[in-house]
Structure 1
Amino acid sequence: MVGARIRELRLEQALSQEALALESGLSRNMIIGIEWGRKSVAYERLWDIADVLDVPVSQLLLPPDSAATISPYRGGRRPMGG
């Protein structure tokens, strides 16, 4: 559930998995694994991810609002409006 919420927040901010990984100090494979529930995230790393997403850690622990419907984007931050 935490991974799905991280994915939801990342997509809302038009942030790629690679950009989130680089800014949080995690690998892209780790971000993918967390988002898809295949890897657990260290407690301390939640703060790094929350900092990049500019949300309190408590926001990462909420259930996702809905299933992600936006396709993956691999070019850093997605241009606004598109």
Structure 2
Amino acid sequence: MPTRPDQLSKEQVLRWASRREQVGGRIRELRLEQGLSQEALALEAGLSRNMIIGIEWGRKSLAYERLWDIAAVLGCDVAEFLVSADRPPSTSPYRGGRRAMKSSDKHLGG
């Protein structure tokens, strides 16, 4: 069992990256569906905004228990994070806290 990054095969590195992107993309999708900013999610989950950004873009992994913290804020089960996102993440930022979704935003995800 490899314990350091330099001991991993390329396939394993790609597989883990793909999984981080899948979970992060789904977290982003659920967050945007609720009109929740990255900063608001971070504050409510006890994480930094930079950590949320890294998670959503698949660049950072997190402690197993933190998935439950994020799920509690999003009001969902952790299993929801394992479902593939419906669309790729949007590059346009949302800088508010929580907001009421307009009917035109519901189909766009934010």
TM-score by length of 2: 0.69
Tell me the C-alpha RMSD between the 2 structures: 1.5
Runs of 4+ deviating beyond 6 Å: none
TM-score by length of 1: 0.91
Q: Aligned pair 1:52/2:73, yes or no? A: yes
Which entry has the higher C-alpha Rg, 1 or 2?
A: 2
The residue type equivalent to 1:16 in the other structure is: S
Identical-residue share of aligned pairs (%): 72
- Any gaps of 5 or more consecutive residues in structure 1? none
- Any gaps of 5 or more consecutive residues in structure 2? 1-21, 106-110
- Aligned counterpart, 1:19: 40
Higher relative contact order, chain-length normalized (CA < 8 Å, sep 6+): 1
Provide the rounded CA distance (Å) in 2 between the counterparts of 1:67 and 1:14. 17
- Specify whether residues 33 and 69 from structure 1 end up closer, same or farther in structure 2 by C-alpha distance, changes over 3 A only: closer
Instruction: Pick the aligned partner of 1:9 from 30, 54, 78.
Output: 30
Q: What is the number of residues matched between the two proteins? A: 82
Whether the 8 Å contact between 1:11 and 1:70 is mirrored in structure 2 is no
